[in-house]
Amino acid sequence: MALGQVVHDFESAYLSLNEDKNASHRRTLFVSKSGGKVPEMRFSTLNHRVLTADANESEQTQISYLALADRADRDKTNWVRREQRRLSNENPDQEPAEYDVLVHDIEEVKFEFWDWRAQEWRDRWDSTASDGDKDKLPTRVRITLKIPSPQGDTTTRVTQARILMQEALNFSP
């Protein structure tokens, strides 16, 4: 179930060229931070579900996947989905968001990004950097989870998401 949500989020990832590029915090982005057993991933997606009529929100949202220590057992790490419903140019860590635990006691998460130009998998992507990824999305994301099993060994789950929107939105004349 958790991987299904993750795939759905990635499939609806998008970028927009219709924003202030000089802002210190972009509203639409696709940034992976490698390092550690559970790297942080932050991206904009059109996957928010508006649940109430006349809600002051849209389908646009910013999702982060990150590791947080388990509240009951600090030796365990939970894999968490953070959703910021309203996009802004403020520091995302200071903005209100909802947190949902996807997997309790995760051992490792690995994100890989398919670069169709180079025809290779890469372990990081940053659409805000000034190098070759600027304002670009990978065509696919491979997600690998390693979870401890009750028998004491590790269970590995692998899936892929195909990002449907390849070009950044641009409504300028």
Q: How many CB atoms lie within 10 A of CB 108?
A: 17
Lowest mean pLDDT among 15-19, 54-58, 123-127: 54-58
Reduced to 3 states, what is the DSSP secondary structure of residue 142? Answer: strand
Sign of the alpha-carbon torsion through 66, 135, 115, 129: negative
What percentage of the chain has pLDDT greater than the value 70? 87
Flag whether the pTM goes above 0.85: yes
User: How confident is the model at residue 60, as a pLDDT?
Assistant: 79
User: How confident is the model at residue 173, as a pLDDT?
Assistant: 58
Q: How many CB atoms lie within 10 A of CB 151?
A: 7
Q: Give dist(CA 83, CA 79) in Å, integer.
A: 13
Q: How many CA atoms lie within 13 A of 105 on its CB side?
A: 10
User: How confident is the model at residue 130, as a pLDDT?
Assistant: 79
Residues 6+ apart with CB under 8 A from 136: 15, 127, 168
What percentage of the chain has pLDDT greater than the value 90? 51
Chain segment 125-144, per-residue pLDDT in tens: 999 887 778 889 999 999 99
User: How confident is the model at residue 77, as a pLDDT?
Assistant: 93
